[in-house]
């Protein structure tokens, strides 16, 4: 079965293409030509035709936490959010720190997932931050990155060796930046609202100190370290300076860190509890500035599903995190392209496609002839209302229920096959 996508605005940042035209998929791959005979014809008039979007920061919860999300439901949520490729984090049970677990995830994904699921592996055994996981074997088993996400290696010597070793193996290191001593039992941004509400503060410096550490290690080891879910103004400044010097360091921003500020926590709603926490106006401004000037070149969701009964507890007892896959594209389009005019649409697509693909060294994120037919159709001006009860994800822990957004993905095509359509 072949596919022809007619009359869309084809945006392919890797090939510097932005024009109204047709796109052909033949035998599941992007082709230079095709015809309507025996083909599914999709009218993309008024829509953007983009390379399939990539989210490099997703928690699929399997193995071990299938009541929050499964590989199958998480992949459906990704498809509904416009993603054709997602990278799942290793903080499962068991932890994805062995080739066996990586193999299980890949087998399971091949069986049930409607999008491409790429596993990441742990940096340290059991995410304990004490000894290296078998990074070479993990790479051979198919991981695209290593990370202790959810945790952060505190031992700088171990982290240095991990970065050195990862360079040899050829996988990027992703890091959740959190200094445990500085953060302590912090649950919300340390500032006015934490002071007012008496909630333990999670200070900016708890992130910035590790961003600085990672810059030094990336420089010292000449290898790529990517700082996940950045939240603090100082992190952006550190990154900007280091990148100007050519250090192999990058950062990612999640929608909630630009959509929300810490005043959102005043009703103790645990759907506003995430790690790192939502911060102050000046942090949002700095993140937007970093996105505008290219300091930040990758976007992610940190999709973190939790069941209602887990989230519906005392604020400081609740798990961190929110679901994000199904609101991510809408929020970024609405906030970055429409409301704040931080960037234009082609750059947003670049941040979701070729940029993460380069970091992960995967053959994806472009519309080059011969590539897998992974395509996302986007209606950048569609106005819609978030309805958590309709999520494909098994979990509903979102602070954005009821938000009115402009722009969303309307069709997701993986290997030439439509896996989701609005």
Partner 1 sequence: MSSEIRWQRKDLLGIRELSAEEITFLLDTADAFKDVGTREIKKVPALRGKTLVNFFVEPSTRTRTSFEIAAIRLSADVINISASSSSLIKGETLKDTAKILEAYHADLIVIRHGSSGAPQFLAQRLKSSIINAGDGAHEHPTQALLDLYTIRSRKGAIAGLHVVIIGDILFSRVARSNIFALLKLGAHVTLVGPSTLVPREFEKLGVTVSHKLDEALETADVVNLLRIQHERQRKEYFPGIGEYIRLFGLTKERGRRLKPDCLIMHPGPINRGVEIDSELADGPQSVILEQVTNGLAVRMAVLYLCGGIATP
* Residues near partner 1 (CB under 8 A): 191-192, 195-200, 267-268, 309, 312-317
Can 302 be counted among the known catalytic residues? Answer: yes
Catalytic residue among 302, 334, 374, 379: 302
Q: Kindly report the number of other CB atoms within 10 A of residue 313's CB atom.
A: 11
Pick 267 or 389: Cβ nearer partner 1? 267
Using CA atoms of 126, 131, 134, 138 in order, give the dihedral in degrees to the nearest 10.
Answer: 50
In whole angstroms, the minimum distance from the beta carbon of 265 to partner 1 comes to 9
Pick 20 or 196: Cβ nearer partner 1? 196
In whole angstroms, the minimum distance from the beta carbon of 133 to partner 1 comes to 32
Helix 156-169 to helix 205-221 angle (10° resolution) is 50
Pick 192 or 361: Cβ nearer partner 1? 192
In whole angstroms, the minimum distance from the beta carbon of 264 to partner 1 comes to 13
What's the token pair of residue 320?
């961190």
Pick 184 or 294: Cβ nearer partner 1? 184
Q: How far from each other are the two terminal CA atoms of the chain, in whole angstroms? A: 21
Pick 312 or 383: Cβ nearer partner 1? 312
In whole angstroms, the minimum distance from the beta carbon of 401 to partner 1 comes to 16
In whole angstroms, the minimum distance from the beta carbon of 103 to partner 1 comes to 34
Active site residues: 302
């Amino acid at each position: 079965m072949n596919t022809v996508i007619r009359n869309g605005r084809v945006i392919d940042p890797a090939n510097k293409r932005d024009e109204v035209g047709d796109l052909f998929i033949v035998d599941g791959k992007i082709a230079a030509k095709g015809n309507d005979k025996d083909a599914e014809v999709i009218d993309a008039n008024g829509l953007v035709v983009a390379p399939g979007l990539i989210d490099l920061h997703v928690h699929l919860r399997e193995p071990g936490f299938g009541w929050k999300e499964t590989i199958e439901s998480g992949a459906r949520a990704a498809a509904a959010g416009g993603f054709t490729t997602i990278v799942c984090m290793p903080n499962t049970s068991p932890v994805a720190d062995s080739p066996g677990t990586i193999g299980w995830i890949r087998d399971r994904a091949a069986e049930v997932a409607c999008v491409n699921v790429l596993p990441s592996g742990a940096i340290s055994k059991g995410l304990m931050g004490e000894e290296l996981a078998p990074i070479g074997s993990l790479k051979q088993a198919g991981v695209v990155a290593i990370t202790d996400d959810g945790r952060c290696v505190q031992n700088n010597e171990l982290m240095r060796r991990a970065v050195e070793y990862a360079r040899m193996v050829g996988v990027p290191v992703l890091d959740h930046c959190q200094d445990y001593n500085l953060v302590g039992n912090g649950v919300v941004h340390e500032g006015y609202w934490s002071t007012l509400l008496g909630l333990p503060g999670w200070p900016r410096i708890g992130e910035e100190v590790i961003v600085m550490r990672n810059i030094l290690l990336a420089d010292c080891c000449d290898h790529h370290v990517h700082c996940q879910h950045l939240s603090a103004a100082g992190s952006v400044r550190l990154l900007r300076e280091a990148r100007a010097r050519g250090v192999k360091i990058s950062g990612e921003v999640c929608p909630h860190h630009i959509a929300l500020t810490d005043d959102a926590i005043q009703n103790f709603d645990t759907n506003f509890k995430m790690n790192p926490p939502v911060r102050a106006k000046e942090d949002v401004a700095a993140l937007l500035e970093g996105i505008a000037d290219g300091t930040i070149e990758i976007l992610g969701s940190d999709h973190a599903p939790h069941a209602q009964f887990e989230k519906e507890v005392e604020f400081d007892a609740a798990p961190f995190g929110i679901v994000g896959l199904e609101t991510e594209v809408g929020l970024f389009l609405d906030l970055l392209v429409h409301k704040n005019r931080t960037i234009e649409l082609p750059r947003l697509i670049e941040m979701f496609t070729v940029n993460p693909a380069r970091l992960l060294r995967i053959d994806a994120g472009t519309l080059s002839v011969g590539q897998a037919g992974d395509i996302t159709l986007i209606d950048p001006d569609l106005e819609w209302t978030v309805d958590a009860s309709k999520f494909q994800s098994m979990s509903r822990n979102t602070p954005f229920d009821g938000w009115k957004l402009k722009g969303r993905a309307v069709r997701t095509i993986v290997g030439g096959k439509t896996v989701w359509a609005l």
